[in-house]
Structure 1
């Protein structure tokens, strides 16, 4: 009996909500291939016939919805067991079909853009079926300069599957083939230091030497393949630079931000502001060094609590705490979250060959799914709240938006998740009677700022500098990447942090760098936005509170029906204003003062 079989069904995904078996999957695959064959038949008649055009859009949506299910079913099975051979084969099958679809449909956007904008506007006005597509169609015209002619788009589409293989190589190296090193701690316990075990040791073991052993064992699992990781990363950047040039963008940053109409100055303002206002971060490290009573402060000292706080939470306790914490957002939000933590939506515990970390993904025609590696720590309780924020966002979006605009952008994705974390923090601070837990919670709040704002800004800075080097034709190696990371840690964390040689290779163990370039900055921008929204809702008059709360829920309901910058403005936050980032540093200053006060009681 496998370790997954030993875990109760209620703590595992029920993937039969997507497909009951591979036979159902195969039947949908056959349907998909038949639908794809219809796509070329529209090529010569959509520019003059609005009815044919509408029929094409409906066909595209049907294909897209089918593909969501067909792709995510094996994808999720692989995340549960990276050695699932059948799932791996099915993944390759659907990826191949998607690549063929990209080729057969590559003519669509260039062809649509042959329709004069005023004609398209008239079609949208006259045909109710096009109303839900208005935003996306207008987007095509806005981004027209980055769309190539039919033949060039078709040529590029041939490379889509090949381009994605770089990410697969990273995943295989970091999940399937990685060898976790074993250590023996001062307690006599022996561990293989996987991602989840590493976090648990850093959070719970007071002996600095134990944390050091865990750090060295864990990072050496990456260090042994550092040149391979660097080659993968260089290949990825070269791919993205080639794409940027082919699509007529001035930089990879512009290419990453322009599809969502996000000004590049938002990104630059963020990383500059985080560096300019990093004094609270340096102050916090100095305070921790003093109260932890250590002579040298290393990166692996970041997660241990100052006080002796060893409470562990069962998953059932964590669920109840998170559920109670969201009550201030109203009955509807509470009931939706209750549904989200029902059986079959979450895969809770770490098992062999399961993907590390946590995420929430949504299937429009099914429901959201959440992956966790719950280990009973306070941090894992916050991770549960975080992922449920994404899930609630998806639930509201799916309920209130048509398929064409249900998918919210990454830029606003982390607002709901970090907002949930703030709700959890306040709830636990208000309900605890344990002084040590109160201190640990304040540290958790500061840690969220460190990890979600400062560290993600640092990582965004790293990506910006690494991509700039390749854009300018400068070669990069593992040493180049190490040096960028070392320099940035020095700038952000200051002299209080001892930068170990192994610490420099942190870039190799961040999946987002390889799977989602220019993603991590949005953790920091979203954190800033959610802080501002939280302040407006809970520190306003009663009448204003109701208005801001309604605005926040409208943000969750809006999916992708507008540019994310505009969506946040409607909710009450303007991220083009640099002051929003500076306010995070001020929030951290206040929390440090509160922490010192608690420690000195």
Structure 2
């Protein structure tokens, strides 16, 4: 089936490094020349996206939109033709490829511009127009998969063997037959496709309740300041306010805003759980987890092993909380204390300097990788600085035939430098996959996506640790690594644990009420944090403010599995004999080049990772334990 083009959203120095930066990026403004303006048109062009790589102008976009409409009509005429033989099957797949390639460009051109400045209503309108056309094609093409599966599998296998032109589609075709037991007939598939908007209603209701209708409170802090507790202001207060009572007051008020609407959120979430169970049963899956994992052929033991091993490995997490409590001099340590920096950093990471650091850090991946990375960095593909109307956060977005585009909101901090490395990992994954794979197998799954990004972060960490002996800077670097493990691994496993248990309630026909969800989430907090953290009662409502639960169930576990995979791959590429490291690096790069040409578990096994094994997950637990030990050593050296 044609796929709507995915955009990967996601959810650091020495004189020698500065010299590398200047030599590597001569076209950029002098280091430290961060634009003083937030007006997009006044920011130098080298820091902004160049959209002409996708289309020269809107006239070209309109022309391709008309071309896609024509191709959609042509594809509809192919219904009933697949039984005619390999030539007919090839024509259908090639037509889908043409449509898919157009989709990636037609989607990205307005979507990227919308993210660069969301105030442009003309761009927003064109983006909506593209989405409407894609939705129409989803429904109009629902016949394809059921018709393909009416063909005898042995006959299609013979076509594949005798028709070299079908080779790019062999994996997809074979995988379709693997999924055959869960594909309905044409009428059934069309019915499920038409039910799609109904299934999204709960998600849309959550968005409106959490954005349009939500009214965040204003509190007065101990210094007399009034603070509106919007998400951004709330996170800023937790990280910057040194008064624990203020942080407590803010947390109770902010999370309590969701608690005040908890019954509505619970009703919405129950609807999402029922939707997932309906879809699972309609496609003849025994559980919602099986249904969610089937598309990528991931065994349920991966999630079960992940949760069980992490639950048994919470001691380092609790040890870190106790270290923070000690260093902060607190009588009690609460969740709202976890964002407060333990030490202030004197280091700054201007963009040009960070580019040099990131480029230097990936040298172990080979000169070919480095040169491709450098080309991407200087090609008008990174939108660097914040501007008025620009969306927050960071992501990497792939446009087949063009390459990746990377969004940042760079602010010269250590965190920003690590985000640059993280998104660069995604970008290079896309570069290598697009260069190696045809369109039909170029898009890699989320299951492997975060492997490349977190691997690049680890390379940067090791580079920076080698460049400083200052105990405070080393502590802060180690803390960044620890916080990454907690945010990307432990927190996501806790979320996955919650989702799994919530879905099981519906599968068993048990009630899903506010009280049930509160008790479930509060219980998990105590399971993971033990007595190292005082868990305030209001945190029981946290589930209501996690968009992933409402937008993309059974998604977040992949962050944790990717982190576990990258930890093992990094170890293989950086320890042992030179021959062993070279072989591990080659396997890793081949995994990136594989794109979506195989199931993600198979790709990871080829690279040397087996996520069904408890040891793979345990390695992350052990890594956190070692990092906390290093932090304790460095903390003892810091004068206070």
CA deviation string 1:494-519 (max 9, x = no partner): 11212234433333333332332211
- Secondary structure of the structure 1 residue equivalent to 2:77: helix
**Counterpart of 1:365 in 2: which secondary structure?**
coil
Q: Against the structure 1 CA distance between its residues 235 and 4, is the aligned structure 2 distance closer, same or farther, given a 3 Å change threshold? A: farther
- Distance of 2:161 and 2:300 partners within structure 1: 33
> Within 5 Å, which residues of 2 pair with 1:221-300?
222-223=258-259, 225-300=261-336
Is the Cα–Cα contact under 8 Å of residues 200 and 375 in structure 1 kept in the other structure?
no
Mapped partners of 1:184, 1:572: distance in 2: 54
Give the gaps of 5 or more residues in structure 1.
none
Structure 2: state its 5+ residue gaps: 1-36
- From 480, 492, 506, the counterpart of 1:456: 492
- 1:337 is displaced (CA, Å) by 2.3
Shift in CA distance, 2/577, structure 1 to aligned 2, threshold 3 Å: closer
C-alpha separation between the residues in 2 aligned to 1:483 and 1:353?
Answer: 40
Shift, 1:580, TM fit: 1.1
Equivalent position of 1:153 in the other structure: 189
- Between 1:205-214 and 1:115-124, the stretch displaced more is 205-214
Q: Residues 387 and 175 of structure 1: is their aligned pair in 2 closer, same or farther, counting only changes over 3 Å?
A: farther
Q: What is the rounded CA distance, in whole Å, between the counterparts of 2:379 and 2:224 in structure 1?
A: 37
CA deviation vs aligned residue, 1:540-561 (integer Å, no higher than 9, x gap): 1011111111111111111111
From 464, 478, 492, the counterpart of 1:442: 478
1:592 is displaced (CA, Å) by: 1.8
* SS of residue in 1 equivalent to 2:108: helix
Residue 351 of structure 2 aligns with which residue? Answer: 315
TM-score w.r.t. length of structure 2 = 0.87
Aligned to 1:586: 622
| RMSD of equivalent CA atoms | 2.6
Contact (CA 8 Å) 2:168, 2:438: kept in 1 or not? yes
Aligned length: 601
- The aligned counterpart of 1:138 is 174
Q: Report the counterpart of residue 474 of structure 1 in structure 2.
A: 510
Alignment of 1:498 with 2:534, yes or no, is yes
117-126 vs 472-481, greater mean Cα deviation: 472-481
User: Counterparts in 2 of 1:124-203, with a 5 A limit?
Assistant: 124-171=160-207, 174=210, 195-196=231-232, 198-203=234-239
| 2:27 paired residue number | none
**Counterpart secondary structure, 1:69:** helix
Residue 465 in 1 paired to residue 505 in 2? no
Tell whether 2:371 aligns with 1:330: no
> Retained in 2: the 8 A contact 1:176–1:353?
no
Return the alpha-carbon distance in structure 2 between the equivalents of residues 521 and 403 of structure 1.
27
Give the Å deviation of 1:142. 0.6
- Structure 1 residue aligned with 2:382: 346
1:400-439 equivalences under 5 Å are 400-439=436-475
- Tell me what 2:159 maps to: 123
**Distance between the aligned counterparts of 1:504 and 1:310, measured in 2?**
37
Deviates more, 1:331-340 or 1:506-515: 506-515
Check whether the contact 1:99–1:161 (CA below 8 A) recurs between aligned residues: no
Is contact 1:397–1:407 with CA below 8 Å preserved after alignment? yes
Following the alignment from structure 1 to structure 2, what is the Cα–Cα distance between the partners of residues 181 and 353? 24
Distance change (3 Å), C-alpha of 1:131 and 1:522: same
Q: CA deviation at 1:174?
A: 4.6
TM-score, scaled relative to structure 1? 0.92
Structure 1 residues 186 and 345, CA gap change in structure 2 (3 angstroms): farther
Distance 1:209 1:424 in 2: 36
1:28 corresponds to: 64
**C-alpha displacement at 1:451, in angstroms?**
1.4
Residues 256 and 541 in structure 2, CA contact (< 8 A), matched pair in contact too: no
Q: Which moved more, 1:168-177 or 1:541-550?
A: 168-177
Shift of 1:272: 0.9
Q: Give distance in 1, aligned partners of 2:450 and 2:511.
A: 34
Indicate whether 1:73 and 2:109 are aligned: yes
- 1:218 deviates by 4.9
**Which of the residues 413, 423, 444 maps onto 1:387?**
423
Q: Structure with the greater relative contact order (CA < 8 A, sep ≥ 6): 1 or 2?
A: 2
Which position in structure 1 is the counterpart of 2:12? none
Q: Could you give the per-residue CA deviations for residues 217-249 of structure 1, whole angstroms, max 9, x where no partner exists?
A: 654565565455444433322222211111111
